[in-house]
Amino acid sequence: MHKLYVIMSLTIAIILSVFITQSSQAISSNVIISQVQLGNATSANNEFIQIYNNSANDVEITNWCLYYASASSTQHGNKLTCFVVDDASLHIYLPGHASAFAVSNQYVIAGPNLGSDFKFSATLSGVAGHIRLIDNSGVEIDKVGWGATAVSAEGNSPSALPASGKIMSRKTIETNTRQDNDINSADFEVISADVNYAFGLIYEAQDLCVNLDGVQAFIPDGYQSDIAGNCSLVPIDVCLNLDGTQMVVPDGYSIDDVGDCTQIPVDVCLNLDGLQLTVPTNYGLDNNLDCQPDFCQNIDGLQLVVPEDMDVSNSNCTWHDECLNLPDIQADLPNGYKHSADNSCVLDLLPLKITELLPNAVGSDNGNEFIEIYNPNDTDVNLTNYVIYVGINDPKMYSFPVGLHIGSHQYLAFYNTDIKFTLVNTTSQVRLSSIDDVVIDETPVYDNPGDGMAWALVDSIWQYTNQPTPNDVNLPSLIESEPEIITESNLQPCAANQYRSPETNRCRLIITTSSTLTPCKDGQYRSEETNRCRSIVSDVVALAPCAEGQERNPDTNRCRSVATTVLGTSDLTPCKEGQERNPDTNRCRNIVSTIPGADYAPKQTTLPENNYILWWSLAGVGLVAVIYGLWEWRSNIAALFQKLASFRHLTK
């Protein structure tokens, strides 16, 4: 009877032990999706999914998979990643109250120090979608939907869409317990991501007890396994100081006299001084299992030297980039670029000058407006990397024709038929820049130019000129003299044998070589001015003195009134209407606005004794012309003297 009780007790103990073991390893719906990041402020591709074991028991998750489906989908969707092993005899377990961490491939690259258990390609929508956790038999274990349009969220109530830099996270009920009421909007809240996430908590194990139901990743407490893999209860614990029952001394442990098991220290770096229980930071194992410095912790494998074309910083290696401000990686300085003061890469462009604009052409603006550019360099310049901006507050950009060059020291005008720009007739300006928006040259603002007036750089000064010179050196405005106004005269025309004197407006006889004049009488001579006969008065002839108030005319020896010198003009009788007083004779004469044209050419007479007046006049005009020329070309003369001074300095 006693034996029967013993046998029954053992049987009950075995059944209870097996039941407890099977319960702890059974597939449980307590595994949930606990956190989701759809992207962060750095990149929308920086995604992760965390699953969590909401129970205290280890759960096998072998061949479970995560799926993503669009907001409108009611199916599983596309497979993101699966929890698989290479050896079919192994099984994957998620410990109780532990998590597994799946990270997008792009996030791994962006954060090489970010660890993970599984990886997937970034594909989560930043607007709405679904993630499902499916077990190895196709059963849906958990699901989360987010965004207003997600049609298959738990409870038909999707979680709120997290803002930039935030994540979706299950609410915490109490320590180690996450809320799971199968209503996504109620179970999830939006919070900031943790600084660090745990990974590496899952483990792989074989079934060590083939005779027990379920997969036994380890020999249960109080059991031992034989050669065939069968487990049986044993009452002996060889390591009293370790949790659980140790039927044998665990690998890597030793036991002392009192039955305590301690871990045997293992030096993983035999080539380094001291005991290294783990591979030191910034080290890796080489083929001989020696620990060597690893220059690139972010690159798989041991990097004994920094790879070619890479730079190292904080034990991480990145590709060498000459131009951090340009897209992609520039291993070498690109052609046509140079380094700026802040070590950025900018276009290496030769300087060009804007020299002339014609905003207000005479007639139609189409085909007549132009912008002129000058190349001061000793080489041709390709205009591909230059652009033109026209306007002040909101300038418009225009590109040059592809492949166009401007020759050395060439003026080149671009009309609005070549480049579809518009120069307004009111106020504007033009700027020449590189395609990366570095200003090369710009004009001052012009304001309401007249018809046909060009805004031009003349002698280093911007000014208006009425002489546009497209494709040529700029010229200043041409000063136009006012035309002489000719009015009709009321004078009667002279006779056919007469001409009108320019001094007196009187008609005079025309003397030709064929004319025969009556000889003058004795004691007379013929005047060269009037061809009239005059009396010859010698020094010995005594002339009767002139009367009081008179003087003798030196030309005619006749007496004439001296009222012009003695009396004021107020004593003279006023001239009639249409007359004026001759300042030489004080006589009244007709006012002539314009001398009428004669039908013949008057014969010019000159007095040899008065030629000095002509020469003085010519000298005065010449002096004025020289002074005007020096003033007008002062800049050119100054530049000439500078060149002569430079030449003289060079020849010394």
Work out the pLDDT band at 566, boundaries 50, 70, 90: very low
Nearest to 352, CA basis, from 314, 380, 328: 380
Work out the pLDDT band at 4, boundaries 50, 70, 90: very low
Contact between residue 85 and residue 117 where contact means Cβ atoms under 8 Å apart: no
Q: Name the β-bridge partners of 261.
A: 255
Indicate whether 404 and 527 sit together in one domain: no
Q: What distance, in Å, lies between the first and last C-alpha atoms of the chain? A: 136
Contact between residue 63 and residue 140 where contact means Cβ atoms under 8 Å apart: no
Count structural domains, the chain.
3
Residue recorded with tokens 């003058």: 520
In a domain, 356, yes or no: yes
Q: CA angle, 26 as apex, 30 and 158 as ends, to 5°? A: 25
pLDDT attached to residue 605: 46
The whole-angstrom separation of Cα 63 and Cα 357 is 75
From residue 460, alpha-carbon distances to 353, 456, 457, 474, 476 in Å are: 11, 9, 6, 10, 12
Q: Decide the pairing of beta strands 405-406 and 353-358.
A: unpaired
Work out the pLDDT band at 248, boundaries 50, 70, 90: confident
Indicate whether 448 and 512 sit together in one domain: no
Indicate whether 175 and 61 sit together in one domain: yes
Indicate whether 42 and 160 sit together in one domain: yes
pLDDT tens track for 194-237 = 888 889 999 888 777 878 876 777 778 778 888 877 888 776 77
pLDDT tens track for 105-163 = 999 988 878 889 999 999 999 999 999 999 999 999 999 999 999 999 999 999 999 99
In a domain, 408, yes or no: yes
Domain residue limits at 516: 483-602
Please state the pTM of the whole predicted model. 0.35
Q: What is the rounded average pLDDT of the residues 360-375?
A: 92
The whole-angstrom separation of Cα 577 and Cα 634 is 52
pLDDT attached to residue 635: 77
Both tokens of 364, joined, read 């139609």
Q: Name the β-bridge partners of 498.
A: 509
Q: CA angle, 39 as apex, 35 and 44 as ends, to 5°? A: 160
The whole-angstrom separation of Cα 223 and Cα 190 is 47
- Of the residues 433, 465, 497, the one at which a domain ends: 465
Q: What is the mean pLDDT of the chain?
A: 82
Indicate whether 161 and 34 sit together in one domain: yes
Indicate whether 431 and 519 sit together in one domain: no
| Stated length of the chain | 652
Nearest to 411, CA basis, from 446, 439, 374, 440: 374
pLDDT attached to residue 3: 43
Indicate whether 45 and 177 sit together in one domain: yes
pLDDT tens track for 28-76 = 468 999 999 999 988 999 999 999 999 998 899 999 999 999 999 999 9
CA atoms within 13 A on the CB side of 147: 18
pLDDT attached to residue 1: 43
% the chain with pLDDT above 90: 38
Indicate whether 378 and 518 sit together in one domain: no
Q: How crowded is residue 346: how many other Cβ atoms within 10 Å of its Cβ?
A: 18
- Of the residues 204, 227, 256, the one at which a domain ends: 204
pLDDT attached to residue 26: 33
In a domain, 288, yes or no: no
Indicate whether 451 and 488 sit together in one domain: no
121 vs 544, residue with greater confidence: 121
In a domain, 255, yes or no: no
CA atoms within 13 A on the CB side of 207: 17
Q: How crowded is residue 565: how many other Cβ atoms within 10 Å of its Cβ?
A: 8
State whether residue 348 is helix, strand or coil. Answer: coil
Indicate whether 432 and 497 sit together in one domain: no
The whole-angstrom separation of Cα 113 and Cα 299 is 11
In a domain, 299, yes or no: no
Q: Decide the pairing of beta strands 231-233 and 223-225.
A: antiparallel
pLDDT attached to residue 550: 80
Q: Which of the residue ranges 84-98, 327-341, 402-416 would you say has the lowest mean pLDDT? A: 327-341
Q: How crowded is residue 321: how many other Cβ atoms within 10 Å of its Cβ?
A: 15
In a domain, 14, yes or no: no
Contact between residue 535 and residue 557 where contact means Cβ atoms under 8 Å apart: yes
- 572 exposure class (CB count in 10 Å sphere: 0-12, 13-18, 19+): middle
φ, ψ of residue 233 to 5 degrees: the values are: -70, 140
Indicate whether 432 and 489 sit together in one domain: no
Both tokens of 137, joined, read 């038999």
Both tokens of 404, joined, read 């166009």
Nearest to 246, CA basis, from 213, 226, 209, 219: 219
pLDDT attached to residue 341: 77
- Residue 19 predicted with pLDDT over 60: no
In a domain, 309, yes or no: no
- Of the residues 465, 499, 526, the one at which a domain ends: 465
pLDDT attached to residue 34: 95
Indicate whether 127 and 164 sit together in one domain: yes
Q: What is the CATH number of the domain that holds 399?
A: 2.60.40.1260
Query: Which range, 376-380, 571-575, 581-585, 643-647, is most confident?
Result: 376-380
In a domain, 314, yes or no: no
